[in-house]
Structure 1
Amino acid sequence: MRDDDVSPAVPAPRRRSFLRGAGALGAGAVLAGCSAGPESTNDTGRGGSGRNRTLTAVIGYGNDGSWDPTQTASAFAMAANNHVYEGLLDTDPITRVPYPALGTEVPADPNATTWRFGIRRGAAFHDGKPVTADDVVFVFDRILDPGTQTLAKGFFAGWLEGVRKVDARTVELKLRFPFPDGLSRLTLAKIMPEHVFSRPGAWDDAIKGLAVGSGPYRQTAHHPKSNTTFEAFTAYNGPRKPAFRKMNWLTMVDAAPRVAKISGTGAGAQIADNIPYANIPRLEQGGLRVAGGAGMNNLFLMFNTRRKPFDDVRVRQALHYAIDSEKMVRVALKGHGRPASSFLDEGNPSHRRAKTVYDHDPAKAKALLKAAGVKHLEVEILAVNVSWIVDCLPTLKASWDAIGVRTTLAPQETTAVFTKMDQKQDYQVVAAASNPNQFGLDADLIMHYNYGPGNLWMGYTRWAGDPVARRLFKDMDRATREPDPARKRAMVQDYIDVVAEQAVLYPVVHNELMTAWDPRKLTGIRAQPYPGVNLLRAQWA
């Protein structure tokens, strides 16, 4: 994802912690405050019997990224937090339609500039303390605090002016302008207990794994690089009742052990995400259901625009035109993807084919390099070692070699790649995975996550000061404020044309993410187009 991905002027350790597990892309230790003792990662999932047995899930991303809901882009942590925490509103994991969670109802007028929420009567945190309006204000104050840099700030600060307490169980949100998309974004503001996270050092503990929410499951143990366990919260009285008495989520980044854990007669898990395409037939033959979700998951290229010749848009375009993306989809993705025709995937409601589409055109690539005066170019691709990205790299290298660009592949651990980015080390090109759908579907959110004057990604590219970039950021902000939905969509599509033309940070392919589960044991599973699993509507078969 990074999960895995990024935002502005955050101290490097925190930046890395939310970048690191996000779908591809911290440091953690077992916390006494959230650990209930060791849980074996070899749990077969048959602990207990009948409906009291443990559900075991295998997640293909690390559990050692930040668990702070205001900071994280970790695929594992975000998926887990959806079971541990609640927003005022939460969203369906597939349609992303908002529904009441801690809030008692969805505001009747999405275009209003004031939204009032009552807090669900009887809602309690996992330590037994009641959820109050003070807790809601506490979280939003942190997100909107100009002196505190969080990833969540980028999703709220542009349109949300503030949140105030009306009474002990009522809060009011004041918007800067009508912004209906804000309703679905409220799930990104997970409500956390002020009495826990206002303590000195508590935010650092949250990064390392401390999780105390009001959701249907409470965290019982957290072992970075191993597993995290949960159990049903018996005092939960919200809309998504826990169906499993206990859950054990294993982190297995390597594909082979992940597939082995869910397959065969001795399978120790009932569900796994991030299934390699090559393993689908064998898993289906073994009686498992394998389904994919297509969305914003993508392999992108990111250029260092302060490193010549990548400051020249013609060079960036040439390297994109050179890529045989159809072959990449056919060979590496086994048909489970599409070459990018826009920054947005083709299933996004705001998608429009960009004016610049990088169809495979080696002759055009050579002509652009010649026009830029570039000869004998040598490029090292700094790449994350996510399995499907690694599968795509040979096609990338062969494509560039074919136009006379001598290409070296340098795949590394995702954390190592983005540590170098945080340390502002020199590089030429990064190839990595990203999926903003972890946060939502609306195009405004997706584009501001990747582009913006204070955005961490733009810091990595060293492009934010470019005159084209400054005009782009102004156009993006104007689109955010546009009240007419059709006009707003057109404005977004127009500035995405600029993003496509500039090719500073741009997808090569969008691909499906595959989830496998045993339908003889689980029902209610829906494959989602972003990393992790959502088990809030699942149950034992």
Structure 2
Amino acid sequence: MKTPSRAACSDMTRRTLLARAATAGVSAAALDLTAQMRAAAAPIPSGPTSVVAAQGTPANEVAPSGQIILARNLSELSTLHPFVARFTSALAVAYHVNEGLTKFAPDFGVTPGLASEWTVSDDQLTFTFTLRQGVTWHDGEPFTANDVLFTIEAAGAEDSEAAAQETVRTYIASVEAPDDATVVITLTEPYSPLLTVLAEQLTILPAHLLAENVYDEAFALMPVGTGPYRVTGREASFITLEHNPDYWGELPYTDTIILRDSPEPAAQQAGLLAGELDVVPYDPTTMANLTGQGYAVFRGQAGSVHGINIDLQSPLLQDLNIRQALQLGLDRERIRSVLYAEGIIADTVVSPAYGEYHNDAMPEIARDVEAAGALLDASGWVLGDDDVRQKDGQPLTIQYQAWASQQWQNIAAIAQASWLEIGVNAEIQNVELALLVDTMSSRYELATVGWPLTSDPIVGLAQLFQSTDRTLADGGTRNVFGYKNEQVDALLAEAFATTELADRVAVAHQIQEIVAADLPFIPFAHPAYQLVTQPEIVLDETGTGALSSIGPGFFMNRWRVNEDS
């Protein structure tokens, strides 16, 4: 793809766009985010916004210093391209490298990013962004309006892998650059999540590097952005991030962050104790003694949901009775107590971290082995001599994809034992975590995956449950279930068109009820983000001593080394 000329960019109309488009820790203290979610979901204001600091987080006034070594599973970081990354851990790293016109704050609010301010027309169709001046890419080239137009065009292209591809194709009528300092986005109809999408799914790409190939492999490994951190090193066992000395905004506190490959909990704890790792996920069942030794634990309630994904393309699992039996038979309390010690049992997909969007009227999903058995009886599955149910001579056997990580293996083992009590044989298939995207993009029957709902739960619900024929690998969706429901689609369209909090909350509640009845996904936990650190490391992301609910690692720019300790 050639870089559009400035004149061509200024004249990019909907016709042009359409022609070219021919398109996952455990434990934590609960945070009261209801008021903050009101702010995040409030009507988009008319008139310019002003540059504001994230609530409760004072600006850094000192030069970045120190180094933090963070345990990561590098198989999840095989690509850092913001259009291609699917793992939350990779998106968190990419968020520090490539930035959007807007950014999100730790409390889910939207703040200025590469746009210093914007105005919105009374009809909510025209957004005029004033770009920051003097911003440079990590390679020293200037950031321009052309980069914004290039990115949005690439996101909407036919071969796009971007999460925002359908948003661009459906809602963006035109993108224009009347001058070097201004970008105007005109919508086909009101779309309330636009500022959120610009922050999360349309981070800006460098046109001067990707004009020939948006998905350049070298860029995917070591992307070039405008953000507070640069990727300066990449080896088989680590990735190095160094602070950007020319950053336009608030400087990060820490000079260097090293992402070291260490996926297993036992190795993480050993590395922490040996002083080889500074930050690792905290497991209260095995690490409770660390706080007495001076190590610090930082917590935050997760905005994600973990559960069992169901492939509705499987003929066996198209039977709602079987899906309901699997949910009723699952020992969710054992999963929580063993693997999510300070997390919350999930009765719906929207976490309480989202305040009013969480439907707390959803009925509790209590384990009921007898009721599960009755459902299977009603579908003609009867117990055989081996205690596995059979129908027409075929055993009730279901394939369960379990990722090659101890946490996911333990969940699979608990599920397998739970379902054997109701006569269901779950055959566990061990799959390398690096193959998750490919596996979930094809036929799989059952698999455990945790899904974040982004900073706007309406966008998160759309990503999971809006009808689509695309796959996780294609991008633009997390609907790995093959789930389609016209009522859900209509409700999402209704929520997209309004900025009224009460209306959006009502839609979110209805969708949670419909999805719970249709059951493409069996929720079992809203985890708590918990990280344990060396005594001198401070991970205050919110100004209250807590981690942000958006996700672990999205605010590493706020992590610091207390060199006086």
TM range, smaller chain? 0.7 to 0.9
Q: Map residues 252-263 of structure 1 onto 2, 5 A cutoff.
A: 252-263=262-273
Q: Map residues 320-359 of structure 1 onto 2, 5 A cutoff.
A: 320-334=327-341, 336-349=342-355, 350-353=357-360, 357-359=364-366
Pairing 1:227–2:227 present: no
- Distance in 2 (alpha carbons) for counterparts of 1:162 and 1:436: 30
Q: In structure 1, give the amino acid aligned to 2:547.
A: A
Pairing 1:538–2:531 present: no
**Most deviating of 281-290 and 301-310:** 301-310
> Where do 5+ consecutive residues of structure 2 fail to align?
1-23, 27-62, 383-388, 390-395, 473-477
CA apart distance, 1:408:
2.9
The 1:161–1:358 alpha-carbon spacing in structure 2 relative to 1, beyond 3 Å, is farther
Q: In structure 2, give the amino acid aligned to 1:528.
A: S
Pairing 1:382–2:434 present: no
Q: Map residues 391-410 of structure 1 onto 2, 5 A cutoff.
A: 391-410=410-429
Q: Map residues 86-485 of structure 1 onto 2, 5 A cutoff.
A: 86-92=99-105, 94-105=106-117, 107=119, 112-154=124-166, 156-188=168-200, 189-200=202-213, 202-207=215-220, 209-224=221-236, 226-238=237-249, 240-263=250-273, 266-272=274-280, 274-334=281-341, 336-349=342-355, 350-353=357-360, 357-375=364-382, 376=389, 377-422=396-441, 424-425=442-443, 427-430=444-447, 432-437=448-453, 440-454=454-468, 455-456=470-471, 460-464=480-484, 469-485=485-501
- Distance in 1 (alpha carbons) for counterparts of 2:464 and 2:111: 27
**Most deviating of 116-125 and 474-483:** 474-483
The 1:77–1:155 alpha-carbon spacing in structure 2 relative to 1, beyond 3 Å, is farther
The 1:267–1:124 alpha-carbon spacing in structure 2 relative to 1, beyond 3 Å, is same
Report how many aligned residue pairs link the two structures.
478
Q: Secondary structure at the match of 1:291?
A: strand
CA apart distance, 1:434:
1.9
Pairing 1:68–2:93 present: no
The 1:255–1:331 alpha-carbon spacing in structure 2 relative to 1, beyond 3 Å, is closer
Q: Does the 8 Å CA contact 1:220/1:231 hold for their aligned counterparts?
A: yes
CA apart distance, 1:411:
3.3
Q: In structure 2, give the amino acid aligned to 1:365.
A: A
Could you say what the CA RMSD is over the residues aligned between the two structures, in angstroms? 2.8
CA apart distance, 1:212:
0.5
Q: Kindly provide the CA deviation profile for residues 220-273 of structure 1, in whole angstroms up to 9, marking residues without a partner as x.
A: 11224x1111222222222x213333332213212222222223xx4123323x
Q: In structure 2, give the amino acid aligned to 1:510.
A: H
Q: Does the 8 Å CA contact 1:522/1:539 hold for their aligned counterparts?
A: yes
Match of 1:494 among 510, 531, 535: 510
**Most deviating of 175-184 and 210-219:** 175-184
The 1:507–1:65 alpha-carbon spacing in structure 2 relative to 1, beyond 3 Å, is farther
The 1:228–1:325 alpha-carbon spacing in structure 2 relative to 1, beyond 3 Å, is same
The 1:475–1:488 alpha-carbon spacing in structure 2 relative to 1, beyond 3 Å, is same
Q: In structure 2, give the amino acid aligned to 1:456.
A: T
CA apart distance, 1:125:
0.5
Q: In structure 1, give the amino acid aligned to 2:428.
A: L
Q: Secondary structure at the match of 1:177?
A: coil
Q: In structure 2, give the amino acid aligned to 1:451.
A: F
Q: Does the 8 Å CA contact 1:66/1:74 hold for their aligned counterparts?
A: no
Q: Does the 8 Å CA contact 2:96/2:554 hold for their aligned counterparts?
A: no
The 1:111–1:233 alpha-carbon spacing in structure 2 relative to 1, beyond 3 Å, is farther
CA apart distance, 1:358:
2.6
CA apart distance, 1:105:
2.2
Q: Kindly provide the CA deviation profile for residues 60-97 of structure 1, in whole angstroms up to 9, marking residues without a partner as x.
A: 453543211122122332222222122111111x3121
CA apart distance, 1:134:
0.3
TM-score, normalising length: structure 1 = 0.81
Q: Secondary structure at the match of 2:286?
A: helix
The 1:331–1:146 alpha-carbon spacing in structure 2 relative to 1, beyond 3 Å, is same
**Most deviating of 375-384 and 126-135:** 375-384
Q: In structure 2, give the amino acid aligned to 1:534.
A: F
Q: Kindly provide the CA deviation profile for residues 411-453 of structure 1, in whole angstroms up to 9, marking residues without a partner as x.
A: 322233543444x34x4322x222324xx23221111111222
- Distance in 1 (alpha carbons) for counterparts of 2:256 and 2:482: 46
- Distance in 2 (alpha carbons) for counterparts of 1:442 and 1:53: 34
Q: Secondary structure at the match of 1:249?
A: strand
Q: Secondary structure at the match of 2:344?
A: strand
Identity of aligned residues (%): 21
CA apart distance, 1:311:
0.9
Q: Does the 8 Å CA contact 1:383/1:417 hold for their aligned counterparts?
A: no
Q: Secondary structure at the match of 1:310?
A: helix
CA apart distance, 1:357:
4.6
- Distance in 2 (alpha carbons) for counterparts of 1:491 and 1:485: 10
Q: Kindly provide the CA deviation profile for residues 481-508 of structure 1, in whole angstroms up to 9, marking residues without a partner as x.
A: 2454312321231122111111113322
Q: In structure 2, give the amino acid aligned to 1:257.
A: A
TM-score, normalising length: structure 2 = 0.78
Pairing 1:58–2:78 present: no
- Distance in 2 (alpha carbons) for counterparts of 1:110 and 1:320: 47
Q: Does the 8 Å CA contact 1:140/1:162 hold for their aligned counterparts?
A: no
Q: Does the 8 Å CA contact 1:51/1:540 hold for their aligned counterparts?
A: no
| Residue 55 of structure 2: aligned partner | none
CA apart distance, 1:52:
4.9
Q: Does the 8 Å CA contact 2:402/2:430 hold for their aligned counterparts?
A: yes
- Distance in 2 (alpha carbons) for counterparts of 1:275 and 1:533: 17
Q: Secondary structure at the match of 1:57?
A: strand
- Distance in 1 (alpha carbons) for counterparts of 2:25 and 2:103: 21
Q: Secondary structure at the match of 2:414?
A: helix
Q: Does the 8 Å CA contact 1:222/1:228 hold for their aligned counterparts?
A: yes
> Where do 5+ consecutive residues of structure 1 fail to align?
1-21, 25-49
- Distance in 2 (alpha carbons) for counterparts of 1:254 and 1:96: 30
- Distance in 1 (alpha carbons) for counterparts of 2:253 and 2:363: 48
